[in-house]
Amino acid sequence: MSSMNLIPVSTSDYRRLAKKRLPRNLFDYIDGGSYNETTLAANVQDFEKLRMKQSVLRDVENIDTTAQCLGETFSMPLGLAPIGLAGMMSRRAEVQAVKAAEKSGIPFCLSTVSICSLEEVAKAATKPFWFQLYMMRDRSYVKELLARAKAAGCKTLVFTVDLTVVGARYRDARNGMAGRLSTFAKFRAALEYPTHPKWLLDVAIKGKPHLFGNLEKLVPSARSLADFKDWVDSQFDPTCTWKDIEWLRSIWDGDLIIKGVLSPEDAKEAVASGADAIVVSNHGGRQLDGVSSSINMTPRIRDVVGDKTMIIMDGGVRSGQDIVKAVANGADFTLIGRAWIWALAARGQDGLEALLATFKSEMDVSMALTGVTNIANITSGVLDQY
């Protein structure tokens, strides 16, 4: 089928449309991973390698995909992961995303380095959303940011711990997203804008201001990504340790999720530090290339933390089947990163809502045909262990 006629259905359809819609540097920023992208590929391939076990004649008329996370009930065990710079991909993307998440009954997590501010998102939201924090050297700014998050109604803080230094992303370097551009490269990048007129109108013209809404005092513009990278390199704090969790706890009285745990040892530390939940994650294959996929690490982490700790996993979730596989592998909940921003870049809020409805119906069908009717019954038994 010609891509002109494509009605997007799956995550990969939205990816294809996003590729057409976005200037190359922005598409590559979303799509890419670090170094040779082996972990990025493994995140997806290791889901594909898992086989489900078909089970028939089990009365599956009433399927219930609802899932609990930190005391709240959601329509399925899925949330929207924090994505930096989302508002450069679709007009005021973080506002569209929080609305789509609410309509679909799932949580939305706002990134520290979002385009829309906490306050702009809060205005559009009718319920509390989650806020993600990167630790900055300037602790007084962190304190101020968390006070803003609280005032914006956030009750859940997602503290990301796997970006104390930034993994080199070769695509970004080639596109000048991670350093200085030569005059020729600048000229080539400028040519991308008129050749992507829908993005130009929707985001470049109507989607202003292009500021980091939560950091406007610190980083003046989201358009100079080289300046932004310099700021990240100088401000993100590599001296951070498990001790800082105590400090965070002293200034944040809501739920605390630690995101970016990938080893059983760190998972134990995270539980000991009093985290309410952990996100098993390798940052979508954007940090240390060569580490294991999140889906492969999830059962090993479940083994060491036991049943009491909430395990959220992300990396490579592209369908409702993947959510079922993640739960069968020991996760309580999952997040999607690229899938949601591809859908939003391609078709805005409607596109994202449609994709989330697809995920839900894929879960319904996967559960029916593996013979389970609720999330609690999704165990390793739904996977083919032969």
Which residues are marked as active site? 283
Residue 47 vs 74, nearer CB to ligand FNR: 47
The number of residues that bind ligand FNR (CB under 6 A) is 24
178, 168 in Cβ contact below 8 A?
yes
Cβ-count burial 18-43 (b if 16+ within 10 Å, e if not): bbebbbbbbbbbbbbbbbebbbbebb
Preceding omega of 8 cis (within 30 degrees of 0)? no
Contact set for ligand FNR, span 39-68 (CB under 6 A): 43
Q: Check residue 214 for interaction with ligand FNR (CB under 6 A).
A: no
| CB count in 10 Å sphere of residue 46 | 20
Between the CA atoms of 51, 280, 362 and 11, what dihedral angle is there, to the nearest 10 degrees? -100
Query: How far apart are alpha carbons 1 and 371 in whole angstroms?
Result: 34
Among 22, 81, 154, 257, binds ligand FNR (CB under 6 A): 81
Q: Which of 305, 273, 272, 309 is nearest to 70 (CA)?
A: 309
Q: Check residue 169 for interaction with ligand FNR (CB under 6 A).
A: no
Query: How far apart are alpha carbons 264 and 384 in whole angstroms?
Result: 24
Query: How far apart are alpha carbons 160 and 157 in whole angstroms?
Result: 9
Residue 48 vs 384, nearer CB to ligand FNR: 48
Rg of the chain, C-alpha, whole Å? 20
Smallest gap from residue 341 Cβ to ligand FNR (A): 6
Query: How far apart are alpha carbons 298 and 301 in whole angstroms?
Result: 5
Among 8, 87, 315, 330, binds ligand FNR (CB under 6 A): 315
Residue 70 vs 93, nearer CB to ligand FNR: 93
Q: Check residue 77 for interaction with ligand FNR (CB under 6 A).
A: no
Query: How far apart are alpha carbons 207 and 115 in whole angstroms?
Result: 10
Residue 332 vs 372, nearer CB to ligand FNR: 332
Smallest gap from residue 267 Cβ to ligand FNR (A): 16
Among 69, 135, 291, 317, binds ligand FNR (CB under 6 A): 317
131, 111 in Cβ contact below 8 A?
no
Q: Check residue 34 for interaction with ligand FNR (CB under 6 A).
A: no
Smallest gap from residue 322 Cβ to ligand FNR (A): 9
Among 94, 202, 314, 353, binds ligand FNR (CB under 6 A): 314
Among 111, 175, 296, 319, binds ligand FNR (CB under 6 A): 111
Q: Check residue 175 for interaction with ligand FNR (CB under 6 A).
A: no
Smallest gap from residue 85 Cβ to ligand FNR (A): 7
Q: Check residue 334 for interaction with ligand FNR (CB under 6 A).
A: no
Chain residues in the site for ligand FNR (CB under 6 A): 29-30, 43, 81-84, 111, 113, 132, 160, 259, 281, 283-284, 286, 314-317, 336-339
